[in-house]
Chain A
Amino acid sequence: GQNIDQPTEMTATEGAIVQINCTYQTSGFNGLFWYQQHAGEAPTFLSYNVLDGLEEKGRFSSFLSRSKGYSYLLLKELQMKDSASYLCAVKSNGGGYNKLIFGAGTRLAVHP
């Protein structure tokens, strides 16, 4: 079967660093996405990993280990506006089409 696990909730302090983990089991792995979703809004794309290693984009970085079925999203210099849900999604090429399988999301609360 296909399964994606991530923590339900996390809290952090403004200015700090937080790491959100995601573990997955899936067939036909073809990449992993992280999306940010503010309450009541649509998910927006943050990062994409298909090879092992770290991808850095400003204050956000994403890491992937395909052998371990593991990824994390690292948020540095946290700001209040980073309070949102963070969705881990695995791309599966089963059937040849771009299907994304989403985790339930991690709700991050940033406090002053």
Chain B
Amino acid sequence: DAGITQSPRHKVTETGTPVTLRCHQTENHRYMYWYRQDPGHGLRLIHYSYGVKDTDKGEVSDGYSVSRSKTEDFLLTLESATSSQTSVYFCAISERVQNTRETQYFGPGTRLLVL
């Protein structure tokens, strides 16, 4: 199994509060991703990173920001949480985009409930 951890694994917060989720990898992979998973929508990409300090937006980036100051850590921040951000958040990693067989490996997920 790829060495990916996420913290916290569960969180309950209130509307308007800031929340930061952490993804940590021990594989030294270059690419890291944040997804959210909601019923009926599948996994949707929020932000991704292609190196330290290099990040870009995915399809559902509004209300989220990310940072990557080290290869092993990718942080997802909800600046002011809303109920629509209640979801399960998955981090994923991959290596070598030039290799078409490149596979993304997923962390265990974080369940976030915004009240």
Chain A positions within 8 Å of B, measured between CB atoms, are 4, 30-31, 33, 41-45, 48, 50, 87, 89, 91, 95-100, 102-105
List of B residues within 8 angstroms of A45 by Cβ: 103-105
Smallest Cβ-Cβ distance to B59: which chain A residue: A101
Residues of chain A with a CB closer than 8 A to B94's CB: 98
| CA distance in complex: A84, B108 (Å) | 16
CB of A42 within 8 A of CB of B44, answer no
Which of B41, B43, B97 touches A97 (beta carbons < 8 Å)? Answer: B97
Chain B residues with CB under 8 Å of A95's CB are 56
Contacts of B106 in A (CB 8 A): 42-44
Would you mind naming 7 contact pairs between A and B with Cβ atoms under 8 Å apart? A42-B90, A48-B103, A95-B56, A96-B97, A97-B48, A98-B97, A98-B104
A-side contacts of B44, CB under 8 Å:
102
Do residues A102 and B31 form an inter-chain contact, with CB atoms below 8 A?
Answer: no
CB of A30 within 8 A of CB of B100, answer yes
Contacts of B108 in A (CB 8 A): 41-42
Closest to A33 in B: B103
The residues of A that contact B104 with a CB separation of less than 8 Å are: 33, 45, 98, 100
- Give the distance to chain B from A9, nearest Cβ to Cβ, in Å: 12
Within 8 A of A (CB), among B45-69: 45, 48, 50, 56, 58
* Contact present for B41 and A100 (CB under 8 Å): no
| Complex contact B42–A98 (CB within 8 A) | no
Contact with A along B81-111 (1 / 0, CB 8 A): 0000000001000100100111111111100
